[in-house]
Amino acid sequence: MKRKLVVGNWKMNGMTASLREIQKLGTAHPAPTVDILVCPPATLIATAAGLMAKSAIEIGAQDCHSAGSGAFTGDISAAMLSDIGAKAVIVGHSERREYHKESSALVSEKARSAHAAGLIAVICLGETEAERAAGQTLAIIADQLDASLPAGTTGDNTVIAYEPVWAIGSGLTPDRTQIAEVHDFLRDRLGERIGTSGAQAIRLLYGGSVKATNAAAIFAISNVDGALVGGASLLEKDFTPIIKALMD
Ligand code: PEP
């Protein structure tokens, strides 16, 4: 049985003092019935991984380069992340697709590199507000999924996060029918690509303004196996109710 998963994406937030929040999470959830992954900024990964090594909290990264090593000033490879204790890496977040002009082809390369380094790739995709208004949501999701998924994708090495761009950090969320439509579509499309049982094994996360007050309703939707949480993952007191809602 696949375990449900909640991922915290700290984005470019968090100084060394913020590690206390991850330690509090470990204390609050000594034996969780779901997987908990926190992705702090790269500067905190090694220390966080060391501090949480004996806990149920896994530490991940927010991005990696597609190559294993080389002349890429300022970049970090998946192998380097693995070396400092990361267990997973987010790839294709809409903020990287938008601000760094990352294509789905590059996202696929990054996911392939993550797999090669033994990391779980959390592949993000989602439509913009204009694309939804134009009735293009499923076409965009299909294109992004098809092009972002590397060969060799399995439930053990890949998580898919559906994050409507317009819902991220906005306080807006799609209604339950809209989330179900995309998640059901993702499950079917994954089935066409890697077979039904392979598709069933992949955790499908919803992301975009998840908070304590809407988490339980979102987790009740078909084919939602957890959440990718931004703002509400920064403080243990905000993240814990979301984790508890997933465990219920
Ligand atoms: C995110 O950054 O992936 C995200 C979902 O952010 P928020 O929860 O703040 O909308």
Alpha-carbon gap, residue 26 to 56, rounded angstroms: 7
Residue 243, pLDDT above cutoff 90? yes
pLDDT in tens, 194-241: 999 999 999 999 999 999 999 999 999 999 999 999 999 999 999 999
Alpha-carbon gap, residue 68 to 163, rounded angstroms: 28
Ligand 1 in contact with 174 (CB < 6 A)?
Answer: no
Distance from Cα 189 to the centre of ligand 1, integer Å: 24
Ligand 1 in contact with 165 (CB < 6 A)?
Answer: no
**pLDDT band (50, 70, 90) for residue 177:** very high
Residue 98 CA: distances (Å) to CA of 92, 101, 157: 10, 5, 25
- How much of the chain is helix, strand and coil, in % rounded to 5? 45, 15, 40
pLDDT in tens, 8-67: 999 999 999 999 999 999 999 999 999 999 999 999 999 999 999 999 999 999 999 999
pLDDT in tens, 159-173: 999 999 999 999 999
Ligand 1 in contact with 164 (CB < 6 A)?
Answer: no
Note the pLDDT of residue 248: 87
pLDDT in tens, 106-150: 999 999 999 999 999 999 999 999 999 999 999 999 999 999 999
Tell me the best of 7, 11, 123, 238 to mutate to test the pocket of ligand 1, counting ligand atoms within 8 Å of each CB and taking the most: 11
Residue 168 CA: distances (Å) to CA of 44, 82, 117, 143, 236: 23, 28, 29, 20, 20
Residue 247, pLDDT above cutoff 80? yes
Note the pLDDT of residue 203: 98
The backbone torsions φ and ψ at residue 41, rounded to the nearest 5 degrees and listed phi first, read -60, 160
Distance from Cα 70 to the centre of ligand 1, integer Å: 31
Note the pLDDT of residue 1: 72
Distance from Cα 11 to the centre of ligand 1, integer Å: 9
Candidates 65, 93, 115, 183; catalytic one: 93
Kindly list the domain boundaries of the chain, sorted by start residue. Answer: 5-247
Ligand 1 in contact with 9 (CB < 6 A)?
Answer: yes
Ligand 1 in contact with 126 (CB < 6 A)?
Answer: no
Least Cα distance to 240 among 37, 25, 48, 33 occurs for: 25
Nearest 5°: CA angle at 208, between 127 and 164?
5
Q: Whose Cα sits closest to atom 8 in ligand 1? A: 230
The answer to whether the CB of 5 falls within 8 A of the CB of 37 is yes
User: Which ligand 1 atom lies nearest to the CA of residue 211?
Assistant: 8
Candidates 21, 163, 181, 236; catalytic one: 163
83 CB-near residues (< 8 Å, 6+ apart): none
Ligand 1 in contact with 8 (CB < 6 A)?
Answer: no
5-247 folds as TIM Barrel (3.20.20)
Q: Whose Cα sits closest to atom 6 in ligand 1? A: 230
The answer to whether the CB of 45 falls within 8 A of the CB of 81 is yes
Distance from Cα 231 to the centre of ligand 1, integer Å: 6
pTM (whole model) above 0.85: yes
100 is catalytic: no
Q: Whose Cα sits closest to atom 7 in ligand 1? A: 230
